[in-house]
């Protein structure tokens, strides 16, 4: 079940600017956003804390985003996993989907589309509580930018 403030874990060892952009876009409506730079750090924090959505890079330090996705899926089959990566090959997308990815975006991508997808995925998890209001708030924020 989704907490009152949806929690998102973002794992990316290279693209800190993209992480910051996404974090700022999601923070205003009340999402709690945690960013880490390796699979090991992600696994460590996941052992202690619950997240409502994961955003992974395909290639990260320590192990691949694919292996991290598989690790998550071994204990959690329902939490959405979104890949946000520079890996644009169709084969990479298929491997991610086979590992358990819910969505797959190639960088750079329209931030608005990613924010909308995150809102939609969290809405599915939450079965409709306050996420539509959050999405509207995000749309207003993006229009103002």
Per residue in 36-88, pLDDT tens?
999 999 999 999 999 999 999 999 977 899 999 999 999 999 999 999 998 99
Q: pTM, whole model, 2 decimals?
A: 0.80
How is residue 78 written in tokens?
A: 């329902």
Per residue in 10-32, pLDDT tens?
999 886 666 677 777 766 667 88
Q: How many CA atoms lie within 13 A of 41 on its CB side?
A: 13
Domains of the chain with bracketed CATH: 7-144 (3.40.50.2300)
pLDDT of 143 higher than 60: no
């Amino acid at each position: 079940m989704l907490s009152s403030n949806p929690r998102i874990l973002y794992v990316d060892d290279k693209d800190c600017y993209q992480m910051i952009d996404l974090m700022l876009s999601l923070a205003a409506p009340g999402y709690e956003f945690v960013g880490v730079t390796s699979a090991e750090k992600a696994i460590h924090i996941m052992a202690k804390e619950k997240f409502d959505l994961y955003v992974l890079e395909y290639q990260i330090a320590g192990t691949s985003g694919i292996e991290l996705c598989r690790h998550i899926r071994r204990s959690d089959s329902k939490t959405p996993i979104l890949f946000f990566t520079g890996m644009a090959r169709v084969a990479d997308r298929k491997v991610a989907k086979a590992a358990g990815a819910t969505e797959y975006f190639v960088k750079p991508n329209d931030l608005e589309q990613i924010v909308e997808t995150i809102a939609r995925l969290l809405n599915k998890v939450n079965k409709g509580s306050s996420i539509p209001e959050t999405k509207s708030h995000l749309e207003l924020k993006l229009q103002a930018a």
